[in-house]
Amino acid sequence: MTRVPEWLEKLATQAQLISVPLPLRPVDGRGRAAAVLMLFGEGPNGPDVLLIQRSTRGRRHAGQPAFPGGGVDPEDAGPIEAALREAEEETGADPRGVHVICTMPELYLTYSDNRVTPVIAWWREPSAVHAASPDEVDSVERVPIAELVDPANRVMLRHPRGDTAGPAFRVRGMLVWGFTAMVLDTVLREGGLELSWDATRVEELPPEVVRLSAR
């Protein structure tokens, strides 16, 4: 068992204080309650975070890298329990080895009509993980923080439907973009882990990714 490291305590403290941009603020209780688990651990290549690659057969967010997570079911006690349950169902992560630190402010996603609560946790006793739900998940990766903050792996991506670009990461053969990249970008920056990178490097979202996201 390992204690929560200082860098993660700082990151979690700052994450709870983040001001949610107006377009992401829930309005009048709209949307389904959902939660994602930001599970940080100490891996063979240093501190890391657990990500999944969603199945290309999925109805929403097909093929996208994401945090484990999903809707808050009626039997769940709340977003924390939902995030732990979804992570176990999708990756096999044993919730008994997970120490929940805090939750971030709720974020509203217009596309999926979800009100998402990110749950930040420390993997004090890591368990083996895999694509435990093949219909929903193609693969599971423990992505080192060092790779996420490497300036060579950072880029701004623009969707053909929009005029603005958002942060993205190229790591472990995955293109992490959209909601997941936005949350990662924010917590790494606010937690003091971000390295200086060229945010003027703007690319178009690859056509194959656009096709999957349009489902």
* Domains defined for the chain, CATH in brackets: 6-146 (3.90.79.10)
Smallest Cα–Cα separation from 19: which of 82, 107, 109? 107
Instruction: Please report, in angstroms and rounded to a whole number, the separation of the first and last CA atoms in the chain.
Output: 42
Per-residue pLDDT, 189: 95
pTM score, whole prediction: 0.94
Q: Which residue has the tokens 């941009």?
A: 21
List the pLDDT tens digit at each of the 215 positions of the chain.
578 999 999 999 999 999 998 888 888 878 999 999 999 999 999 999 999 999 877 656 678 999 999 999 999 999 999 999 999 999 999 999 999 999 999 999 988 899 999 999 999 999 999 999 998 999 999 999 999 999 999 999 998 877 789 999 999 999 999 999 999 999 999 999 999 999 999 999 988 887 776 66
Cβ count within 10 A of residue 156? 19
Give the tokens for residue 183. 């949350």
Per-residue pLDDT, 1: 57
Per-residue pLDDT, 59: 58
Contact 119, 78 (CB under 8 A): no
Per-residue pLDDT, 37: 98
Give the tokens for residue 35. 């939660």
Name the 3-class secondary structure at 170: strand
